[in-house]
Every structure is written in structure tokens, then in C-alpha cells.
Structure 1
Amino acid sequence: MERISQSWSHTSGIISPPFSLFSSKAFQPKQPRIDFSCVKELNDAIGVFQKMKSMQPEPSVRMYNSLLSVTVKIEQYSFALYMFDEMLRMGVPVNVYTMNIAVNCCCLLKDIKSGFAVMGIFFKRGYEPDVATFTTLIKGLFLNHKVAEAGKLFNMLLRFRICEPNDVMILTMVDGLCKSGNVLPARDLVRRLERSRLRPNVKAYNALLDGLRKSGMVDDALQLLSAMIEKGITPNVVTYNSMIQGLCDLGRLEDVKVLVNDMSNSNISLNVVTFSILIDAYCKERKMKEAEDLLEIMRQRNVCPNVVTYTALMEGYCLRGEIDKARQVLDSMVDKRLKPNIVSYNCLLNGYCRKGRIDEAWLHFLEVPLKGLEHNTCTYNTMIDGLFSKDRFSEGWKLFKDMEARRVTPNIYTYNTLLDGLCRNGEIDEALSFVHTIEGKGVTPDRVTYGAIINGLCKNGKLDVARDLFNQLPSRGVLPNARIYNMIIGALCHEGSTEEAQCLLTEMQSHGCAPDEVTYNIMTRSFLKKKELSKAIPYLEVMHEKELSADVSTLSMLIDQMQGKTKDDVLLKLMKDVLPKDFVS
């Protein structure tokens, strides 16, 4: 059976097998009852199709359509198209429903041309496509990133009144535009439809609201929410969940409370998604008491927390450094017969690594496959970073090799972690070589990549090479940020080249990169180190103006310089002005 299933392939939409796969001679001409629920994989579909071809009397088109539908359900689109081709060859009286399934398969295979070709076949047979056919084609155009063509087809349907768009087609258009990054055209479309008799329903509004939210246009989404209510369109829990998520992402928890009250006033019950969003927001703010209170409210309302809910709690405890509590949450999930996912384990691994408990993290890393889960890129990144944080470089590299062997795709974060490890271990030449290696793999180094290399070069006494690379950054499409400027400025000051450091600081400002607290502390210390207090004071004054603080090293050097000198009230006040806010005087 496996050999048979490999003998066909889908190329251009209508399948032409190299030879007949199935022989009716092997089957007796009887018509058993077909149980389509038994079709769970490709070989099942092949077996049922063989059986149907041998049945007498011949199966109805309805039976064939049922098999096509279940084959699509198990995502065997190419074989569904092969069956469709065979049905045409055998003279099965296919109908519009058959056509829609075939068109859908072409679209799901991202073969939109064949989708239109199938429609052409039916035109020749005297069938007219219905609204479902055109909706499927529009969806296929979006799947193929043909946004303009989808819009043209929709407008053509309206202009020539070929068919009247229904709620599903309107939703497909709005959702497709939003997901392709065309949120404003989606809003324009909704406004245009509002003025016609084709009024978008709540699902279309939800798609637009979610698109606005994901584009950072939360206030626009809130205005749209008010407008849809005024038009008599009642929001549902999906509507509010999208808005609550958008506000939570911005940390606007007070506004969230208003929406939750609106839900209550409209008799819309919070569901597990709503509660999970709220719990996640409080956990990210490290407000575990509020998160735990919400969990208790869920229980009182018989809303069962799911893996997402508990994973949010785990992340909250990990952010507070309460790893053992996070582990207890994981165990409680298992006790409740919920299966933690890889995100849950990644959260726990990250928590252990942040606390420096690498060996415990490693044990949980090994536990993941035993739970029926697979390590993903994030899992490996977390563990490699944790090992490197404890200078266990050889173990980290060994894990990277294992990652590659298991075909888990590294990302730029993986490569940056490895580069940083090489640089911290003093292996600068190897780091530079590794950059060329990843470029050869088609990976584009980013600002973090170059920052790791420049930092490594500076700390290993190769300032000239670091400056050359720094000067090349704009031509490589990377603009240095304050952190990278600080690396070069710090290295210049370390070598006593304070004038060059001052020039670079001026250049930094002229390029629109604002110096930060670290920059001014570096410059202040460089002059204090040379016993040039008068040159350090202007930087302290700027820090005060910008409400920045001196760090412990700077303050310590200031105190040392003032020892044995006449009391200077102005300098003492300036010192007080740049003290960290949490510094106890």
C-alpha cells in the first residue's frame, strides 16, 4: 500500500498519473457500506477509493464527495485531486460541490492557476460557480500572496453582480487583507460595505479589530468597537478578548478593567481565553497576587484553566525568581491531567538558567523527550545560553551540534549566543570565522551579532579592528546603537584616548543616537581616572539634567577625589543629584 501511495504526485492541478494505479479485477462487484470515519491517513483513503471503484452499482457522486471531503480533512490534498481527476475520467457525474472541493485543494496547495482551471472545466460542462467557489479562490489568492488579485476578483463580483458576497466571503476578504498587512485597506473595505446593503457581521469586525490591534492601532480599534456598537452590531467574547489583549500588550490595565466591566454589563461571560490574557498581563507585571485571585475567580465560575493559563503563571513566578513555585504549577498541571507543552518547559528552563541553576535546568531539558515533546529552537537557545553564562562553553557547543544533528533550525539568537560565547572565551579569530560561516548559510548578522564581535575585539585589545568593523556597520545595513557606541567609547577611554572618545560622543549625537547613562558614566570615570575633576563635572551636570544616575564605580571615584579637599557645596549637591533613586544616603 505504501508503494502505491508514492506512485502519484500533484504538479499543475489536474493529475495525470503515469499508469493506472488501481485494477477493478481484484475486487468483487458488491457494494458494502462505506465508513468514511475510518479514513485517518493516506493509505486509508487509497483503500476506500479502490473499494469504491469496484462497487456495483457504481457509487453516487455524493459518496465520492464524502471521500473527497474526508481526504481534505486529513490534509491529503494532492490525492484528493488525483481522485477528482479519476472521477472525471470514469464519467462520475460531478457537481458544483465536487468542483469546490477540487478548487479548495488547489488553493491549499498554493496552485491557484489550477484552481481557476478547475473552474474552467465546470464552465465548459455548463455549471456555474457559486459564492463558495469564489470565496475559495479569494482565499487561495491570499494564500499565494496575491492580495491585489484577490481585491480585483472581489470588486469584479460586485461590479458585474456575478454573485452576491455572503458573510463568509466578506470575512475572507477582511481577514485576508489584515493578515497580509493591509489593515487600512481592510478598514476602507468595511466602511464601503457599511454604506451598501452588504453589512459586515461581527466576525468581519472581529477580524478588522484584531488586525488593527496587531498593527499597534489599539485606539483605532477601540473607536471601531464603539462604532460597531452604535450600528447595532453586538460584540461577543472574541471581540473583547482581542481588545483586552491589545490593551494588556501596552500595559493599560486600567483601560482593561473598563472593558471587563462592559462585558459584565452586556452579560458576556469571560472565557478561559479572557482569563488567560488577564493572568498573563498581571504575571508580566509580576503581580502574582492579582493573577492568583483571577485563578480563584475562574474556579468559582467553573471556567477551567488550561495549559496557556498555567504557563502564564509559571512565567510570572520565573520573572520573580520563584522557580520552585513555577515547578509546582507545572506539577499541578499534570495532577489535573493537563499536558504541559514545550512552551511550559521552555519557561521553566529559562527560569532555572536565570537563577544560575544550570544542572537543574539540564535535568528538565533531558525530561522533555520523555514527556513526548520535542525540543524546539527556543529550548536549545535557552539551554546553550545558560551553559555559556557559567562559562561551560564546550558543553554549549556540544549542545549546538546536537541541535543541528536533530534538524532543529538555529535562528539569529542561537548564532549570537554562540558568537558571544566565543568572544567571552577570547576566541576572537574563531568568532570572526563563525560570522562568515553563518553568512554562508544565508543568515544576515544583526546589530546584536556585530555588538558581540565589537565587544570581544575591544576586550581583547583589538580596538583598531573593532573600529574598522564599527565604521563598516552602515554599509552593512546596521546602524550602531548606544550600546555599541559605548563599547568603542569605553575602549578608547581605557586606552587613555579621552579626546577621541569625546569626538565619538559628538558623532554619536549628530547621528541621532542619544547617549545613555552608561555613556556619561564612562566619560565621567575617564576624567576622574586622570584626576581631571573639572572635566568630569560637565558630564555630571548633563546626567542631572537628563535625570540619569551615576553608578557605584563613578560615585566611588568621586568620593576618593574629594578626600582631603576643601568642602565644595556645589559638588556635593551635584553628587546628591546624580545618586541612584534607590540609594540610601
Structure 2
Amino acid sequence: MLAFAYSRSEMVHDALVVLAKMKDLSFQPSILTYNSLLYNLRCTDHLWNVYDEIKSSGIPPSEFTNSIFIDGLCRQSRLQDAVSFIQETEGKEFGPSVVSFNTLMSGFCKMGFVDVAKSFFCMMLKCGLRPDAYSYNILIHGLCIAGSLEEALEFTIDMERHGVEPDVVTYNILAKGFRLLGLMSGAWKVIEKMLLKGVNPDVVTYTILICGHCQMGNIEEGFKLREEMLSRGFELSIISYSVLLSSFCKGGQIDEAMKLLYEMEGFGLKPDLITYSILIRGLCKLGEIQRAIQLYKEMCLKRIFPNSFSHGAILSGLCQKGMISQARMYFDTLTKSDLTEDIVLYNIMIDRYAKIGNIGKAVQLYKQIIEKGITPSIVTFNSLIYGFCKNRKLDEARGLLDTIKMHGLVPSVVTYTTLMNAYCEVGNLQGMLKLYQEMEAKALKPTCITYTVLIKGLCKKRRLQESVQLLEDMYAKGLAPDQITYNTIIQCFCKAQNMRKAFQLHDEMLLHNLQPSPATYNVLINGLCVYGDLKEADSLLVTLQDNNIRLTKVAYTTIIKAHCAKGDVSKAVVLFYQMVESGFEISIRDYSAVINRLCKRNLITDAKKIFRMMLSGGISPDQELCWVMINAFHLGGDLNSVSELLAKMIKHDLFSE
């Protein structure tokens, strides 16, 4: 009992001392004592010593001894030793058992060697051993994890053929396999078969289904399953609640997530660090920083100590809200605690300083990292490089590549792409291409963003054919360009007054099932208005409206300005009304642009209509527009309107000296 108590408490040396004392007192330890010791020491280096002692003591091992020993070897990833042991004990009184083979198969499956596990399944049959449900479940699970669902289903059929009935574990494994592949319809078919066989779902079954539906974004179905689960008398696990909480947070339904937290506590479940971290991150993403901090304090009061994930969420939230001084205060508080070694927190602050252009503060924090002996990560350097590039300090940014190597780190694609973009912005095409060649030499695969930067650089130098070739290279390498890539090259062809090629690229997007973005149509409409035919721009606008393609305000203002410039003010007015009816927020600047054009053309009646529309929309005119309208009213003899406007100007102090 004493030896067992020590071994169970992982007090290894004490357990061995007790064993030695037993020998001194001429007490022969039983095989049960040895088995319990072997079991509790199976994850330690003492495993072989205890087994050798069993053999030297002359005590015959029990049927469990070998299984425990094999389990220990597998847990220590000593699979080859486990295989050798199975071969050595074959044919002996307590040779390999079903349990031993199951343990070995489980070990190989966990390491990802499902085919090897299958070979031991066959060996088990050759040894005259009959696989049990656990044997089949191990292989079915291994195959499901490997994505071989068809073979897993075949093993289930083979299982039934050999008179071994699939149990709830079998069906849960299959349902999880379908869930991992995002095939929830397949998971439900497994559940249907399970019910037909008279096997009742358990907590794990419901958890798998809830996880699947939530990960697919179907939170309503996940919530229904939770209700059904409760109605059947099952208690939701922490995992089930965490998945539901995560789904609500991702969907921005933070109040529903908070209700679930209180429900958990009502059922006696204690929220853990993961639960709180999910909620804190969700609140921070929605900008609910104060509520996140309140929840953080609540977590600390319950003696659940936050990790870098929780701290990082709050710090990121403060930074994203633009509360940089509060973020720094929070950061300084953390760095005075035991979290000083956490590079993630430093990276968040350095990145924010770099993004707002305060490279001095970013460098200051970097120096602090070095002084404290903290190892910077590639993320640290990527942020610093971005900051230097933003401040047009390209030599300092380029020099950081050598610093990265000094720290034993490897520059990433992000590193090179950031630098390339900076060289592109200043028109240094040669510097950009040199960096690209250096990146290729390091066998770093360019991303879609990398190619977009290259295309932008080539387009700036009017090397359009080379940019088109890069687009083709992307497809050849299995890399799909996105809307930004196409928009970049389309805009360049528009500027080159090659509208035909610009529209060919638009059509190419559709052929590749890439939906043009509103920005794509802004570029095309602007190209037609400035470099092409205004009638074609009108026609394109009508086509897009007929096809219910969402347009931006920019598309309307571009074509309105073009019609005003060409003298077709009446058409501009029609388009202006369309823009208003589309629900866009119209500014004083938009109104002024049209009203000024109308007044210049002496279309005073139309100018009055739009001016009154502006006033009814709650937008007050500025001084310049007031004088334009006073002049227009005066020329039209409408002195009452002149008086009204003058009164409004006095009221809002719109008179200059």
C-alpha cells in the first residue's frame, strides 16, 4: 500500500526505497505490487528497471504485466522497443494479449502510422486473438484522423461481420471524422444509424455535433442541440459551452455569450481559463474594452490566473480602439509582473507604435527586449521594418535583415514583401526586384500580396506586359490572384488609356470565378470617364444597376463630376438623385459640387431643389455655399429666400471679416 501510494503520487524514489526495504525484511512483493508500481511509473525511465526486477525476482508475471509495460513504452514513444517486446513474448504463457496489441496499435495511430497499426491488427488475428470493439475503435479513429473515412466505414462493416457490435464510442469516432472534414450531413447519417441500432447518444455525441455546427457557422442548430441535450438530462461539458461561446463571440453576439457564462455557473460548471479567454477576446474585438477588463478582474478574483492570450486580447483591443496611452499603461503594469518574458505582449505594442508611425517608441521597446535578454521573434522585426518603411527610412529597414540573421531567425515572406512594397512606393524598381530575387534564393514562396506588390511596381514604370506575365505566372504556380491584384493592373491599363485590355482583365476575373469588387468598377468607371467614352460609363452603370451589383458612392460621384465637366448638368442631377435614393450618406461637399455647377449654368430652379433637399436632410450649408445660393436667389428675384439665408448665416456665425 505504501509503495503504491508513493508511486501514484509520482514520488518515484520513495516507492523504490520501500521496495528495497521489503527485500531487506525478506518480504516478497507480489505481482500486484509490481504491477501497480509499473503502472504508475510507466511514463518514467524507471520502467525497464522495475520490469527487469520482476523477471529477476522469479515471480511469474500476470496477464496485465506485459500490457502495462507495452503501454509505458508506447507512452514514451519507444514504439520499436514495444514491437521487439511483443515479438519476444510471443508463444509464452503470458504472451501478447488483445490488450497488448490494442496498446501498440493505439501508440502507432497517435504517431500517425495507421498502416503499421493495421499490420498489427492482422498479426493479432494470426496469433488466434479475437479483436474486440476497442481494437476496431482504435483503427477507425486513426483512419478518421488521417481523413480516410471510406476505409474507416469499411472497418465498421467488418466489425459487424465478425460479430463485434459497434458501440457509442464507434459512432462518436465516425461522427467526429465527418465533422473534421466539414461533412455534417455525413455525421447526421452516422447518428441515424446509431439510433436505428438502439445505441443512445451520450454527452460526447452531442458535443461533437454542437462543435460541428458551430464551426460551420450554424449557431442556431448548435443551440437547438444544446436545448435537446438539456431536455434529455445531459449536462453540457466545458468544451460544449466553450464552442458555443466562441461561436457567439465570432458572430458578435456577446450578450448571448455572457448569458451562457452565467448559465454554466448556474449548472455548477466552473468556467476555466479558456472560457474566460474566449469571452475577453470576443469583447475586445467588439471594442468592449471596459467589459473585458471587468471580466478579467472577475477571473482573477476566482483565482483563475490569466495567460498571455487574455492579456494580449485586452492589449490588442486597447490598441485597435486607438487608446495607445491606456494600452501602454496596461503594458507597463504587465511587464512589471512575471510576464516580462512574454515576447507576444512586446510584439503587440511594437506593432501598434509602428502602425501609427511612432518608430522611436517601437525601437525603444525593442532595446528593452534586448536588455532583458528576451529573444525577439520574426514578428518583432517585421513590425519594426514596417515602421521604418512607413517613415521612409529604407536603409534602416533594409539593415534589419542582417540583425534578423544575427538572432538566428529567418526573414519571412512578410519581411521581404513589406520591404519590396516600400521600395515600390518610392519608385525604386531595381531595389524591389533585387529583394524578390533574394527571397527566391532563400526558397521562400511569394504570396498573392507579394505578386501584387511586384505588379504595382512594374505598372508604375509602365511595364504592363511584364505585369500581365506575372499574373499568368501566379496561375501557373497554383496561386490565385485576388481582387486587389486585378484592380492594381486594371487601373494601370486605364491610365495607359487601354480600356479594352482593362475590360479583358475584368472578364478574366469572372472566368476564374473571382467576383469583381466595388473598387474594380470604380476603377473602370473612372477610366471610362477620364480616358474613354462617357456614354460607355453610363451604359456600364446601368448594367451594374440592372444586375443589382452593389456600387459605392465613389462610382456615382465620379460619373456625376464627369457629366458636370462635359456640360451635361441635367444628367448629373439625375445621377445625383439616384445616389441619394441608393442610401449613401451625402456630404456638404457633394451637395456643393452639384449646386455650384447648376448655378454656373443658370439652372437656378434645380439648384434650389437640391439645396432644399440638403436642408431637409439636416445638413447645414457652409459659408461658401450660402453665398452661392444668395447670389442665385438674388438673380432670380427671390428676396425672401435671400433674407432667410442671411438670417441663417447670422445665427450660425457664417460671416467672415
Tell me: CA distance 1:358–1:182, structure 2 relative to 1, closer, same or farther (3 Å). Answer: farther
- Aligned to 2:236, what secondary structure does the other structure show? coil
Tell me: CA distance 1:90–1:472, structure 2 relative to 1, closer, same or farther (3 Å). Answer: same
**Paired position in structure 1 for 2:567:** 566
**Paired position in structure 2 for 1:111:** 78
Q: Which residue, out of 232, 249, 252, partners 1:283?
A: 249
Determine if contact 1:457/1:466 at 8 Å carries over to the other structure.
yes
Shift in Å at residue 324 of structure 1? 0.8
CA displacement, residues 337-384 of structure 1 (integer Å, 9 cap, x when unaligned): 333333322222221221233343344445557776686665454343
Distance 2:336 2:94 in 1: 55
Tell me: CA distance 1:290–1:39, structure 2 relative to 1, closer, same or farther (3 Å). Answer: closer
1:547 maps to 2:514: no
Determine if contact 1:107/1:143 at 8 Å carries over to the other structure.
no
Determine if contact 1:318/1:351 at 8 Å carries over to the other structure.
yes
Deviates more, 1:428-437 or 1:122-131: 428-437
Deviates more, 1:149-158 or 1:44-53: 44-53
Determine if contact 1:346/1:379 at 8 Å carries over to the other structure.
yes
1:143 maps to 2:110: yes
**Paired position in structure 2 for 1:65:** 35
- Aligned to 1:222, what secondary structure does the other structure show? helix
**Paired position in structure 1 for 2:259:** 293
Shift in Å at residue 332 of structure 1? 1.2
Identical pairs, percent = 26
CA displacement, residues 382-426 of structure 1 (integer Å, 9 cap, x when unaligned): 343233223344554565677787676846x56654543443343
Amino acid at match of 1:112: L
Amino acid at match of 1:249: Q
Determine if contact 1:550/1:578 at 8 Å carries over to the other structure.
no
Deviates more, 1:42-51 or 1:231-240: 42-51
CA displacement, residues 97-117 of structure 1 (integer Å, 9 cap, x when unaligned): 332232222222322111012
Shift in Å at residue 495 of structure 1? 6.4
CA displacement, residues 23-75 of structure 1 (integer Å, 9 cap, x when unaligned): xxxxxxxx986642574356556655655665532423322322222223xx4
Deviates more, 1:505-514 or 1:272-281: 505-514
Determine if contact 1:549/1:580 at 8 Å carries over to the other structure.
no
Gaps of 5+ in 1: 1-30
1:81 maps to 2:82: no
Q: Which residue, out of 156, 162, 165, partners 2:128?
A: 162
Distance 2:382 2:541 in 1: 34
Determine if contact 2:537/2:559 at 8 Å carries over to the other structure.
no
Determine if contact 2:250/2:282 at 8 Å carries over to the other structure.
yes
Q: Which residue, out of 146, 153, 169, partners 1:203?
A: 169
TM value normalised by structure 1: 0.77
Alignment of 1:209-288 (within 5 A): 209-288=175-254
Shift in Å at residue 468 of structure 1? 7.4
Shift in Å at residue 328 of structure 1? 0.4
Bigger relative contact order (CA 8 A; separation at least 6): 1
Deviates more, 1:194-203 or 1:468-477: 468-477
Larger Rg: 2
Distance 2:62 2:91 in 1: 13
Alignment of 1:374-453 (within 5 A): 378-393=344-359, 395-396=361-362, 410=377, 416-428=382-394, 445-446=412-413, 448=414, 451-453=417-419
Determine if contact 1:272/1:303 at 8 Å carries over to the other structure.
yes
Distance 1:163 1:373 in 2: 55
Determine if contact 2:328/2:349 at 8 Å carries over to the other structure.
yes
Determine if contact 1:178/1:207 at 8 Å carries over to the other structure.
yes
Shift in Å at residue 471 of structure 1? 9.6
Gaps of 5+ in 2: 465-491, 587-657
1:189 maps to 2:160: no
TM value normalised by structure 2: 0.70
Deviates more, 1:264-273 or 1:504-513: 504-513
Distance 1:116 1:416 in 2: 47
Tell me: CA distance 1:456–1:298, structure 2 relative to 1, closer, same or farther (3 Å). Answer: same
Determine if contact 1:531/1:561 at 8 Å carries over to the other structure.
no
Tell me: CA distance 1:571–1:137, structure 2 relative to 1, closer, same or farther (3 Å). Answer: farther
CA displacement, residues 159-212 of structure 1 (integer Å, 9 cap, x when unaligned): x36323334333322332233443443333234324442222212322232232
Distance 1:197 1:270 in 2: 34
Determine if contact 1:352/1:360 at 8 Å carries over to the other structure.
yes
Distance 2:19 2:542 in 1: 83
Distance 1:526 1:450 in 2: 32
Tell me: CA distance 1:122–1:480, structure 2 relative to 1, closer, same or farther (3 Å). Answer: closer
Shift in Å at residue 149 of structure 1? 0.9
Amino acid at match of 1:138: M
- Aligned to 1:282, what secondary structure does the other structure show? helix
Distance 2:112 2:138 in 1: 14
